[in-house]
Structure 1
Amino acid sequence: MVDAADPAALSRWWADVLGWVVVSDGDDDEYEIRPAPDRMPGLLFVAVPEKKTLKNRLHLDFRPTDQEAEVQKFLSAGAVHADVGQGDATWVTLADPEGNEFCVLRSRAS
């Protein structure tokens, strides 16, 4: 579950950037996205009144085949670089439109 100030907007943002679909749209302010309507797992976005503070309770890491292209895809969609004290790391830390941090890792060697 992902807490959100605007679960409709944040679920659409993640669905768009991941190429997923929104499968529930607003029952009790909850929005679910999945890779396809009949594929699990999914992510559930729920409205909460408080803003994000400190560290995420859930932190997503993505390991694409092309790290640079994946970072550019997220940035083009509205993500921003985030400094969480990672220093000189092999991954790139970004934040979604509500400030939730996630990382784009280097691809594993074949």
Structure 2
Amino acid sequence: MTLEWEQVIVDATDPVALGRWWAEALGWVVVSDAPDEYEIRPAPDRKPGLLFVPVPEGKTVKNRLHLDFRPADHRAEVHRLLSLGARYADIGQGEQTWATLWDPEGNEFCVLSDRVSDT
């Protein structure tokens, strides 16, 4: 393969604040904390990362791309993310086994049902 997935770019009205929120939510490290390019990764040398860049306008419509996360404990993880400032999102999905949430700037992401243990 000739392509390596480097990062996902996230438009933000406040890249530093949103990047810090996601770093806390994911337990990732900050690799660049410049106001115009705030990047986090799972570890300093591990990819892909999330790169938060400034845009003048706020989010107005549903994302065309969003992140899904598979936790060990769905209920505990949703509670933790809500306590960090996430909000429930109703985007017309109805009753599901996952939770759709918004980050502080209104970007949708999903917390899926519990991971199945290999043991």
**TM-score interval, normalised by the smaller of the two chains:** over 0.9
SS in structure 2 at match of 1:90: coil
What is residue 43 of structure 2 aligned with on the other side? 36
Q: Does 1:52 align with 2:45?
A: no
Q: Mark the runs of 5 or more structure 2 residues left unpaired by the alignment.
A: 1-8
1:12 to 20, 36, 61: 20
Number of residues paired by the alignment? 109
One-letter code aligned to 2:102: A
From the superposition, tell whether residues 108 and 16 of structure 1 become closer, same or farther in structure 2 (CA, over 3 Å).
closer
Unaligned runs of at least 5 residues, structure 1: none
* Sequence identity percentage: 73
Q: Secondary structure at the match of 1:32?
A: strand
CA distance in 2, matches of 1:68, 1:82: 16
Question: Is 1:96 aligned with 2:100?
Answer: no
Moved >3 Å (runs of 4+): none
Q: Supply the RMSD in Å over aligned alpha carbons.
A: 1.2
How high is the TM-score relative to the length of structure 2? 0.86
